[in-house]
Each structure stands twice: as C-alpha cells, then as structure tokens.
Chains A and B, each alone.
Chain A
Amino acid sequence: MPIDSQLISLFLLFIISALFSVILAGLAVVVAPSNDDMEKSSSYECGFEPFDNARAKFDIHFYLVAILFIIFDLEIILLFPWCLTAGYLSVFGMWSMIIFLVLLTVGFIYEWTKGALTWK
C-alpha cells in the first residue's frame, strides 16, 4: 500500500512544529533571565484573584471586550470555508463576502466611535 505524499507532508508538519515549539520553550527556560517573586508566579486570570469571593463586583467591560473579540473570531469561521471554495465561486460569491466584510467594518467603526474599545 503506497503511502500518500500528502500524508507525509502532514506528518512532517507535525514533527517540525513539535520540534520548533520544544526548542522555543526550552530556550526560554535556559537563556532568559528569571527572578521570580510572589506576584509573578501566582496564577493570572483576567486581573482577578483566582480564588476569591464569587460575589465580588467587577467591571462589565471585560464581558464587552470578550464579546467583541468573539464577533471577529466567528467572522474567521465564515471566512475559512469561503477561502477554500473561492476558486469555484462566481462573482456573486465574491461580492457576498465583500458585503459581509463591509457590514462588519461598519459595526467595527460604530463600536470604536462608541468607545467600547477604550479602557476607562
């Protein structure tokens, strides 16, 4: 049974990416200077104490930023299948995606001018 060449390239991708990330992480441990203190080595979670009273009040701005991030994240989900099939689509498919991006841009301008992205 002949091995598919595409699968070999996929295998190589896995090997190289694993090696690359191990090398980078290892270099960070070996080369980079490290002087730990209490604040640095404590776990970090959106600027909150990770183990605290659950009823504590905090800024709703976190949610806003997260939701705005998710909107643009989901846009990518729509863009990927479009990219893969862009060659087969007619001019109609191209303009549909451009309309979608224009809509997103208008929304982005709105949220920017509304001040949703500035941290007060």
Chain B
Amino acid sequence: MWFVARRLLHAVPLLFCVVVLNFVLIAATPGDPVTILVGDFPAPPGYVEQVKREFGLDQPIYVQLFRYLGHVLTGDLGYSFANRQPVSTLILGRLAATLELTLTALLLASILGIILGMLAARWRGSWLDSGVQGVASAGYSIPDFWLGQILILIFSIWLGWLPSQGNMSVRGAPEGFAGFLDHLRYLLLPALALSFRYLALIARITRAAMLEVLSADFILAARSRGATEISIMVGHALRNAAAPVITVIGYNLGFILAGSALIETVFGWPGIGRLLFDSISRRDYPVMMAILLMVSVTVVLANLATDILHRMIDPRVGDR
C-alpha cells in the first residue's frame, strides 16, 4: 500500500508538468481563439476587447497559466468556447465511451495475442508459428482506419451482420440485457479494428518471452520431475514470460487511446477522439487541454497498474 501511495505522489509533479507543457505549447501555436469565437465577420474592435476580457485572454500568459492551474486543482476544467458549455460535462460521457472502446480493444488484443504467442512458441517453426508471424506482420503494416473501413465493408455492407456507426441503436434501443447485447454489436467492429495492431505486438512479445523462458533451466527441472507439458506451459512458462507482456500491454494503453481518435471517426463512436479532432480544428483550447490531461492521467494510472501487477507476479520486484 505504501508503494501505491508513493507512486501516486510521484505522479503529481508529472501531471503538473504535463499541464504546464500543454498550456505553453498551445499558447505558443499561431492563431487566436478570439478570431474563431468572434467569427469571420468584421467585428468592431471594442467587441473583440470585450470578448478577450470576458475569457481572461487579455492577461499575460503566466497569469492565465496560474489561473488555469488553480481551476484544474479544484476540478474545474474550464469552459468550452465553441460548445458554450463546461468542459467537464462535455468530456465525461465521451471519456467513458472511449475508455470502453480502448479497454475492450486492449482486452481482445491481450487475450488473443497471448494465446497466439503461446501456441507459436510451443510449436516453434511449425505452420502455426508461421501463421502467427504472418498475422503479426499484417497487424504491423495494415493501418487501423483502413482495416476499420474494410471491416465495415465486409460485415456491415456486404454481410449486413453488424452496424457500422454509433454505439447504440438510435431508434428503439432495447432495455436491460438486450440493450447490452445491442450495444456489444456496435462495439465489436471498432474494437476489432483498434485491437489488431496491439494483438500483433502482444503475440510477438509473448512468443519471444515464452521462447526464452522455455529454454530456462527450471523448465528442464520441471520436466525432470515428470510435470506435464500443459502444467509447464501455464504454471511455469507463462508466469515467467508475463513480465514483459504486461509491460507492453500497460505502456501501450496511451498509444491505443491516441489511436482511437481515427477509429472513432471511422465508426462514428461518440468518444473523446472525435471531440479532440473537433476541438483542434475549432481551436477550442480548454477542451484540448482537458482531453490531453485526461489521457495523461489514464497513462499514469495504467503504468501504476502495470507496476502493481509486476509486484504481484514477481516476488523479487522491489524487494530490497
């Protein structure tokens, strides 16, 4: 428990830096949110000044920064210029949708990737191994938004099995468990498209880690005791190969969150990816910064979870 508290404390200065850096970077980019707010019409100079004052944009940059930090600390993420509503209300529902999509994709990628990697390592050099390697290469080289479009083409347009846009039936969405199933039908294609790349990565890492462990001395010792191959694979090899695999899964959550922006656009998924895209094109700075902050927090939490898992699996970690 001390370890968790210490790690959370470490995260505070990190998140602080993230917030400051985001703020400064955005302030340094060319373009002025006021022009977007006011619009293309030739506005009287007095009106522009008034809008600037209203949003505090007439203050020096460091004053703006300190005010922003103060607000973030109290949980106030600001006000969206473009949407004219508080950022927190705007983000919360969409963050949940994005996390649902990304975590599902990561779960799919982890389960399938680990199973494929294990099988490939166990039957190294067989057709199964070559197949897994082929899938892995494909996963690396196929862009996920293109894969998404192909999936839509096959499963929505040609076969008509699954819906292609949104996250639930707009009209007559059923209640209860049926509603959940309805929702899953919407989730499946975008999650698959998003997961493929990570499935490839996890399969590769699992295969390499398993191969290394399988040649370890203690595997030979377990065989000399008459242990079955299955108990060796699951009881010794997978456990010992878990550390690098968990690291890869945990540290890729940030990338998968970033990657979801494209997939959400392709599948019309109402997550923060689309919101980020929109807020960039509209120079909606508070929304941009809030999203970046949320992503940072998620990555920090994912890394923390990774470290905790490491400690649970390996008694030697942090034991000094």
Q: Is this pair of chains taken from one and the same complex?
A: no
B residues apposed to A, CB below 8 Å: none
